[in-house]
Amino acid sequence: MLTRHTTMVVGPTGGGKSAVIDTLSRAQTKLSIPTKIYTMNPKAVTVVELYGILDPVTRDWTDGLLSNIFREINQPTEKKERRYILFDGDVDALWVENMNSVMDDNKLLTLANGERMRLQSHVALLFEVADLQYASPATVSRCGMVYVDPKNLRYELL
């Protein structure tokens, strides 16, 4: 996670992915790095609800769920803290291809209204997914990978 600002935690449902992410958050907080995780399921909303929409008549922009969260967590902070956007749900080309420019070295989210927002250094992206069946090679190549194998976990750890 020191070399990538986007990480995918991959493994089957009930396999311990959420426990790994929660442990990361608690460990960083105990190391005096307050950590906030903003969780969302990108498949629970439409692409327009996720990114936002530009009214073709009035040219008014309405932020979507992700663009709203993106604005909020990219605000400068005086404290040494980490903020994560956690995408908890399947990765598919319908919504994730728009994230490729955020996941690469540019760290830019480009919205339909032409606005560009840069991912700040205190913010990172996490994906919690069961598999990468519908993720493109372009998306996968931009991410760090953590595979959580439930065979290595005992019920006491969860």
- State pLDDT tens for residues 37-87: 999 999 999 999 999 999 989 999 999 999 999 999 999 887 889 999 999
Q: What is the pTM of this model?
A: 0.89
Q: Rounded to 5 degrees, what are φ and ψ at 144?
A: -80, 150
**At 88, which helix (H) or strand (E)?**
strand 82-88
- In terms of Cα–Cα distance, which of 149, 135, 154, 148 is closest to 94? 135
